[in-house]
Amino acid sequence: MPHTYEYPRPSVTVDTVIFSVIADDLKVLLIRRGVEPFKGAWAIPGGFVGMDESLEDAARRELREETNVQGVYMEQLYTFGAPERDPRGRTITVAYFALIAADQREIAAATDSDAVEWFSVYNLPPLAFDHASIVEYALTRLRFKLDYTSVGFQLLPKKFTLTELQAMYEVILARKLDKRNFRKKVLSMGILEPLEETKMEGPHRPAKLYSFTEDELVAWPQHPTMGGEKGPLAGLMGRRSDGA
Amino acid sequence: MPHTYEYPRPSVTVDTVIFSVIADDLKVLLIRRGVEPFKGAWAIPGGFVGMDESLEDAARRELREETNVQGVYMEQLYTFGAPERDPRGRTITVAYFALIAADQREIAAATDSDAVEWFSVYNLPPLAFDHASIVEYALTRLRFKLDYTSVGFQLLPKKFTLTELQAMYEVILARKLDKRNFRKKVLSMGILEPLEETKMEGPHRPAKLYSFTEDELVAWPQHPTMGGEKGPLAGLMGRRSDGA
DNA sequence: CCAAAAGTGTTTCACTTACACCCATGA
DNA sequence: TCATGGGTGTAAGTGAAACACTTTTGG
């Protein structure tokens, strides 16, 4: 066999930070560990990468197995490989983050028991391993991409009101936005289709429903650059298929 | 031993895309492979991760061993893990990119032979494995970060002229920038210290030298966001220490 | 005095920001 | 009719973009 096999190998896992906006809060789906190490502690779902599956496939498989979540937006986040991050031995983890829309969420509920639970990202329990860093980094990335891509729409149902859209931005960014400016901007982008339907709930004017017109993740035009000429955005950062 | 060891393990490597701006061109440092697979083909430097070193340490070690490059800016890029990317067997690679300033570059020259060479990123030879994708992605990321962080200064010597600074931006972004606007903007940022010295070469007015005042990588204020209030940038994206 | 790169200001235009009231509905 | 959230416009300020000539030096 080739000389590759002479080297000792670390274990490789994938771990996924699953976000969803629930009841005007940004939540993360956690699993309570049933085995050592960190038995009883909460952790983000993940597991070992199979020898014949891509990293993203592995992440999706683990997600399905552990939380029943399928067909959602996923993106590679960062690879964590500090030698001591897993007491069992050298383990490198490729972290992903996933976004679940309000209307995809039943699936996550369909799991067995109390071992899977949504927590506010702003009030997490102590997490196993270095999972707290992973979640923190995922939040940073999500906020960042919210500003120049359409990732956010992955968190909304197909039909949504502008108020819901704005509320989603507000929870994630953890700050209030101006209603008129927000609407002006988002409507001027030409990525929303106004529907005939309205959503009426409660004793007030019904809200117009919209849908997101793009199939793919889109990035808005690049922010002002170093001197001269507008730069259309080259690539999309992250969201690569996976190797090759 | 813990159950971790029941799983077959992929090999894990680190590979680094090394950029430098040379003679008004953006170059990548490549190594000619001496062994199969892809013997004779050019590749980015890299190698297996040791069991007791962090990923970034591994990347730095390989860089030092293979190209004599040390003490340069490095940042994790992406992890490539398609099952078939290495014909020898399952190998996952954590890709990094490194930036070498003009005045740090001697080191890279100090290697043995013709086996290490700089190539224009705009005119690369065929590369081994999926290294072409890795370089392409590194370029995308570099361009992207050039627009909102100070990474670019890692490619310049301690003292530089505004023309050199602008030229660096132009090669990387592959487009011309307006001289007056560029200077106005970069000077208004308060990150440059004008030096007394000037650089005179050639039969023309000498250029004032500047130095970059910040020690750390800095990110400029966030681009305009979804409605209301300026958003100071939360984190820096990438450039995490490594795990934990 | 000529060639070559360094250096410098102003105007235009677009977009971000701040801000307050009327509208449609159900109860 | 009242309470509740939905929906709308304008003025001011900031910053990006476009653009051409003078300055300083060496030869």
Cβ contact A178 with chain C strand, < 7 A: yes
Of A68 and A200, the structure prediction assigns the larger pLDDT to A68
Interface mutation target, options A52, A168, A225, chain B, most CBs of B under 10 Å: A225
How many CA atoms within 13 Å lie on the side-chain side of A179?
Answer: 4
Q: Which of A85, A94, A223 sits opposite B147 (nearest CB)?
A: A223
- Closest-approach residue (CA) in chain B for A37: B2
Q: pLDDT at residue A3 above 90?
A: no
Q: List the structure tokens of B231.
A: 């958003």
pTM of the model: 0.92
Please report which confidence band the pLDDT of residue B106 belongs to, taking 50, 70 and 90 as the band edges.
confident
Q: How far is the CA of B75 from the CAs of A78, A132, A160, B17, B207, in angstroms?
A: 11, 21, 39, 10, 32
Percent of chain A surpassing pLDDT 90: 72
What is the Cα–Cα distance from A57 to A74, expressed in whole angstroms?
10
For residue range A175-232, what is the model confidence (pLDDT) as tens digits?
Answer: 999 999 999 999 999 999 999 989 888 899 999 999 999 988 998 876 556 654 443 3
Chain B partners within 8 Å of A90 (Cβ): 51-52
Hey, what domains does chain B have and what are their CATH numbers? 3-146 (3.90.79.10), 156-212 (1.10.10.10)
Both structure tokens of B59: 């990347």
- pLDDT of res. B16: 98
Judged against a pLDDT cut of 90, whether residue A172 lies above it is answered with yes
Pairs across A and B, CB distance < 8 A:
205
Residue A94 amino acid letter? V
DSSP, residue by residue, chain B: --GGGGS---EEEEEEEEEEEETTEEEEEEEE--SSSSTTSEE--EEEPPTTS-HHHHHHHHHHHHH---S-EEEEEEEE--TTSSTTS-EEEEEEEEEE-GGGTHHHHTSSSTTEEEEETTSPPPBSTTHHHHHHHHHHHHHHHHTTBSGGGGGS-SSEEHHHHHHHHHHHHTS---HHHHHHHHHHTT-EEEEEEEE--SSSPPEEEEEE--SS--BPPPPP-SSSS-------SS---S--
- Whether residue A155 is predicted with pLDDT greater than 60 in this model: the reply is yes
Instruction: Give the whole-angstrom CA distance, residue A29 versus residue A20.
Output: 8
- Write the pLDDT tens digit of every residue in B68-95: 899 999 999 999 999 999 999 999 999 9
Q: In whole angstroms, give the CA distance from residue A144 to residue A100.
A: 18
- For strands A73-80 and A91-100, give the pairing: antiparallel
- If one counts every other C-beta atom within 10 angstroms of the C-beta of residue A26, the result is 21
